[in-house]
Amino acid sequence: MTTYISILRGINVSGQKLIKMVALKKMYESLNFGNIQTYIQSGNVIFSSTENDPKALETIIASKIASEFGFEVPVIVLNAKTWQTIIDNNPFAKDDQKESSCLHVTFLAEKPIPFSKESILEKKAPNEEIDFTQNAVYLYCPNGYGKTKLTNSFLENKLKVKVTTRNWKTAKKLLQLTLESNDQ
């Protein structure tokens, strides 16, 4: 079985698309996934599956959420190895001058087609920083993520792929939980 992390976008935000983590875990159990563990209320689920295709898992999970909870939710599924690579490659995490609470990772559902970096860079605030890889966008938002123009919707529009963002603390914690579940 392969260990995966699924991240759901836009649940339990401002009273919209409410899903209790107990109900979400039960739903994952109904899909015959193993070693299921949720983390905080924003739709982070670690699980194991015999399915080897993360895209197939995204479709299965999104479809089940729609049928069980009555609304559509973008779902991104990454295996533990890919998640580890994304964490390891954050260029801002290695800079002692950057406050870790200002770091965010926008996870991409797939590799974006060629895009205009300039059209994205022109939206960042002067003290913000951004870096791109094929499966993640790294953000440094010293004024807070809530104030940046480099939002999920903006990046989806520019990159033409589904995205969802997690703060650095959550991204690292999900990796830690994944590694711990693999040790068992």
Same domain, 74 and 12: yes
Cα four-point dihedral sign 54, 46, 33, 72: negative
Range of the domain at 118: 84-168
Same domain, 78 and 127: no
CB 165 within 8 A of CB 105: yes
**pLDDT, tens only, 1-60:** 899 999 988 676 666 777 888 999 999 999 999 999 999 877 899 999 999 999 999 999
Same domain, 92 and 74: no
Same domain, 146 and 103: yes
Same domain, 65 and 107: no
What pLDDT was estimated at residue 14?
62
DSSP label at 124?
S
**How many distinct structural domains can be found in the chain?**
2
**pLDDT, tens only, 128-159:** 999 999 999 999 999 999 999 999 999 999 99
Going by C-alpha positions, the residue among 40, 49, 55, 66 that lies closest to residue 171 is 40
Same domain, 127 and 68: no
Same domain, 92 and 158: yes
**pLDDT, tens only, 172-182:** 999 999 988 76
Q: Residue 75 belongs to a domain with what CATH number?
A: 3.30.70.1280
Same domain, 79 and 126: no
**pLDDT, tens only, 81-121:** 999 999 999 999 999 999 999 999 999 999 998 899 999 99
> Residue 33, exposed/middle/buried by CB under 10 A (0-12, 13-18, 19+)?
buried
Q: Cα separation of 167 and 146, whole Å?
A: 11
